[in-house]
Amino acid sequence: MNHPATCALWLSTLLLIGCGGRDGALTCSEPEVLEGRLTGNVVVGERCSNWLVRGSVTVPEGATLTLRPGVTLSFLDDTGLVVDGGAIHAVGTAEEPILLTGTTRAPGAWAGVHLARSNATRNRFEHVRIEWAGGSKFSTAGAAAALALSGSAENPSRIQITDSEFSHSAGYGISLDAWGELPGFSRNRLAENALGSAHVHPASVGGLTPGNAFGDGGTASAIHVQDGTLTGREATFHELGAPFVVGSIELRTGATLVLDPGVELRMRAGKQLRAVEGVIRAVGTAEKGISVRGEEATPGYWVGIVIHASEGENALAHVTISDAGGARDSWALAAATVALTDDSARLSLVDSTIRNGASFGLYLDGNAALTQFERNTFSQHALGAAYVQARGAHQLGGDNAYADNARAFVWVDGSDAVNADVTWASLDVPYFVASDLRVEGHLTVAPGASLHFDADAALIVPNTGRLTAVGTADAPITFARSPEVAAWKGLWLHASKHDNRLEHAVVSGAGAAASSWSSGNPAGLMVYQSKVNVAGARFADNTGYGVWVSTLSEASGCSAATFSGNTIAATGGAPCP
């Protein structure tokens, strides 16, 4: 076996490699030198295992760099390795791993390895360790990292990585832009990197798969996901044993965001998850829930989850969402942790906790659909559990909890009339009706339900509408003023000849204003050319009359109702037997 001290083979005016005359890779007395722009197929480590990179190395299209088992490449400060359209094949063994390190043993001593538009099938790292890199960001990379991949739709970068380690970077262990792909990624370790385990675009996050070690559980273990818009692509967040620190993700046509059970997202300040046309699916289990929270546990730290024009059914199950509601989406009337902002929005929301928000827990636009909605808890919101437009308020039942909020109600915006046959369930808080609410369809109010009204609000049932509010002795229905106002306008029936029923219901604190149809007479219940039965109802503490009835009306049941504290009289106008 020959042991020459050193020898050199010039591959170009900038490249020195080689050391000849023996079998196997041994440590030469002087390291071989690698630098410059490679050409052809360059194999490093056939004879000498120790190599010095004293100037940055580029592997262009048409060239391949192969690193043999046991090779060590030591990079001088501020140098790096760029695979620019070429290929890299570094396959070591457990006994003879490949090491890429810095001549200075300090984080950021050298730049790292960058695959740019490198889509070669031979790209592979196995039993490779890259350390002390991340000193600077390559121009087209997403972030400074030990290994960075960047590309384009036409020329993505891909590499298979197994049994490898990326550590002690001044940046991240790995950086993937929108077209950086890991077709195989297993049994790798990303640890002790200053900024986090990885920095990825949402489109590439699915390449980080279970079966790898991401940090040691500290803050540097986190996987950072940059802002990104997806069209026609899927972003899947796998449970990796480390949190994701996430920017804003917007889903456009054909895009899907998937959160696997056990995933934890920590949202950055002012960011949001927004499905403009795509779909969000975050379905955990009772044993493995999903957490989406602020990077800081501060109400309003991030915006929230916004669902607009759904292409399919969005689903949230066994998810805890917290610290949001920091800003109102441009399509919404109010800020909320979870906002459905269009009539076409669809969401299944079950077994989830929405908490610690700076505004409302839920925003529901017009005819937006809660296809499943049960066993959820809304708590610790500054403005209340929910803000809904009247057309959607019937969807709020389903054994959901709304009570533990700074304002104990769900806000109903009456600017959209109730125009269908719907039932408002009895909730553990009142409905707060903030403006005139028109019932142009058939509204049934369930026993035990409470409706509280703002000072400028009335419940108006016109000729097309019908009201059925039939409580029980043990579960009466309440129509009352909000505790924050002196009175509300009242319940007004206008030319409604349907069988309106107001039985075992309490109407109180009304009369703030008189209807133009009641000849200026305020009342708890104004009946104008309408039909109603009030047997078992109670009218109390109303300004004006308890019930006022116009001619051509069919009002009955007053003799079986109770009246107290009404400032003018129990009844007025036409008779109410």
Q: How far apart are CA 385 and CA 376, in angstroms?
A: 11
Label the pairing between strands 9-12 and 15-17: antiparallel
Cβ burial, residue 358 (10 Å; 0-12/13-18/19+): buried
Q: What is the pLDDT of residue 25?
A: 59
Q: Report the pLDDT value the prediction gives residue 28, as an integer from 0 to 100.
A: 84
pLDDT score, position 217: 66
Asked if 131 and 173 count as a contact pair (C-beta separation under 8 A), the reply is: no
Name the percent of the chain in helix, strand, coil, to the closest 5.
5, 45, 50
Q: Is residue 170 exposed (0-12), middle (13-18) or buried (19+ Cβ within 10 Å)?
A: buried
**Partners of 235 in the beta sheet?**
257
Residue 4, pLDDT above cutoff 50: no
Sequence-distant (≥ 6) Cβ neighbours of residue 218 within 8 angstroms: none
Backbone angles phi, psi at 202, to 5 degrees: -55, -35
If you ran DSSP here, which 8-state letter would residue 85 be given? Answer: B
Residue where the block lists tokens 């590499």: 159
- For range 42-59, the mean pLDDT: 94
Q: Summarize pLDDT for 119-140 with one digit per residue, the tens.
A: 999 999 999 999 999 999 998 8
CA distances for 449 relative to 404, 425, 436, angstroms: 18, 6, 18
Residue 17: pLDDT band with limits 50, 70, 90: very low
In this prediction, residue 197 carries a pLDDT of: 97
Rounded Cα distance, 193 and 29, in Å: 32
Taking the CA atoms of residue 32, residue 37, residue 43 and residue 46 in that order, the dihedral angle to the nearest 10 degrees is: -10
Q: What is the pTM of this model?
A: 0.92
Question: E strands within 38-171?
Answer: 41-44, 50-60, 64-67, 72-75, 80-84, 87-91, 98-102, 112-116, 124-126, 128-131, 145-150, 157-162, 165-167
| Mean pLDDT score across all residues of the chain | 93
Q: What is the pLDDT of residues 280-316, one digit of tens each?
A: 999 999 999 999 999 999 999 999 999 998 778 899 9
pLDDT tens profile 76-96: 999 999 999 999 999 999 999
Residue 517 binned pLDDT confidence (cut-offs 50, 70, 90): confident
Backbone φ, ψ for residue 102 (5° rounding)? -100, 150
Q: For 398-409, how does the pLDDT look when each residue is reduced to its tens digit (9 = 90+)?
A: 899 999 999 999
- The per-residue pLDDT for 16 is 36
pLDDT digits 0-9 by tens, 264-276:
999 999 999 999 9
Q: List pLDDT tens digits, range 520-552.
A: 999 999 999 999 999 999 999 999 999 999 999
Q: What distances in angstroms separate CA 355 from CA 5, 111, 170, 362, 429, one per listed residue?
A: 69, 43, 36, 10, 16
Task: Encode pLDDT of 547-576 as tens digits.
Answer: 999 999 999 999 999 999 999 999 999 999
pLDDT at 523: 97
pLDDT at 516: 85
213-228 pLDDT, tens digit each: 998 766 689 999 999 9
Return the number of other C-beta atoms located less than 10 Å from residue 54's C-beta.
Answer: 17
| pLDDT score of 9 | 30
User: Which of 62 and 2 is assigned the larger pLDDT?
Assistant: 62
Q: What is the pLDDT of residue 386?
A: 98
Contact partners, residue 519, CB within 8 Å, separation at least 6: 550, 573
pLDDT-derived band at 6, boundaries 50, 70, 90 = very low
Dist. CA 560–CA 251, nearest whole Å: 58
CA distances from 444 to 43, 420, 423, 465, 508 (A): 79, 10, 5, 11, 19
Query: Whose structure tokens read 């997202």?
Result: 265
Backbone angles phi, psi at 392, to 5 degrees: -105, 0
Question: What pLDDT was estimated at residue 10?
Answer: 31
What residues are paired with 530 via a beta bridge?
none
Instruction: Check residue 218 and give its pLDDT.
Output: 65
C-beta of residue 165 within 8 angstroms of C-beta of residue 133: no
Residue 236 is predicted with a pLDDT of 98
Radius of gyration of the CA atoms of the chain, in A: 34
| Lowest-pLDDT range of 15-24, 332-341, 406-415, 561-570 | 15-24
Q: What residue type is assigned to position 204 of the chain?
A: S
* SS3 label, residue 479: strand
Structure confidence by residue, pLDDT tens digits, 344-372 = 999 999 999 999 999 999 999 988 999 99
Q: What is the pLDDT of residue 46?
A: 87
Question: Which helix or strand (DSSP H or E) is residue 273 part of?
Answer: strand 272-275
Is the distance from CB of 214 to CB of 238 less than 8 angstroms? Answer: no
Bridge partner list, 479: 451, 507
Instruction: Read off the pLDDT of residues 65-81 as tens digits, 9 standing for 90 and up.
Output: 999 999 999 999 999 99
Q: What's the rounded Cα separation, in Å, for the pair 235 and 279?
A: 11
In the structure, what pLDDT confidence band is assigned to residue 423 with cuts at 50, 70 and 90? very high
Listed range (170-184, 191-205, 338-352, 508-522) with the worst mean pLDDT: 508-522
| C-beta neighbour count of 9 within 10 angstroms | 11
Candidates 333, 274, 335, 329; CA nearest to 300 is 335
422-425: long-range pairs with CB below 8 Å, 24+: 422/393, 422/394, 423/394, 423/397, 424/393, 424/394, 424/396, 424/449, 424/451, 425/394, 425/396, 425/397, 425/398, 425/449
419 φψ region: left (φ > 0), alpha (ψ -120 to 50), beta (else): alpha
Strand partners, 423: 444
Element (H, E) at 505: strand 505-508
For residue 544, give the nearest of 509, 517, 516 by alpha carbon: 509
Q: pLDDT category, 20, cuts 50, 70, 90?
A: very low
At a CB cut-off of 8 Å and minimum separation 6, what does 193 contact? 107, 134, 145, 146, 166, 167, 168, 169, 171, 172, 173, 215, 220
